[in-house]
Structure 1
Amino acid sequence: MDEASRGSGVGAALESYATELAIARGCDRMEVHCHSRRTDAHRFYHRQGYEESPKYLIKSLTS
């Protein structure tokens, strides 16, 4: 998100709308993949009710 927009509620509104769509479509969860260095994003997602999922594995296919 653009720094000028941070704190304006746009992200929370978008996340809320995505959650409503997921529920309406019968989804049982929302998942977000967010790099560990994005600490501000992590705080945002925690405020939206997301919890840590400790296991995520990745395999790079480029050297």
Structure 2
Amino acid sequence: MSYFCVDKNHRSSGVGKLLEEYCEKASITRNCDRIEVHCHSRREKAHAFYYRQEYVESAKYLIKLLK
């Protein structure tokens, strides 16, 4: 899975937690050793969600915007 997002009208209802748990189980089944999440710094509520799911900060991404 590449991306998922919970519609703003359904946030804080447990949907994101269920999706994240499914992704974790699927990843373990596939012998993955981690889940990496790219979440823009302005998405503070999303960061809070990931911290509650026991994610920790790691190296930062570097990007180059093309014209």
Which protein, 1 or 2, shows the higher relative CO under an 8 Å CA cutoff with sep ≥ 6? 1
1:22 aligns with 2:27: yes
Alignment RMSD: 1.0
Tell which structure's C-alpha radius of gyration is larger: 1
Give the count of matched residue pairs.
62
Unpaired runs of at least 5, structure 1: none
2-structure distance, mates of 1:50, 1:57:
20
Residues 13-47 of structure 1, C-alpha deviations (whole Å, 9 max, x = no match): 00000000000000000000000000000000000
- Residue 59 (structure 1) aligned to one of 42, 46, 64: 64
Deviation at 1:6, TM superposition (A): 1.1
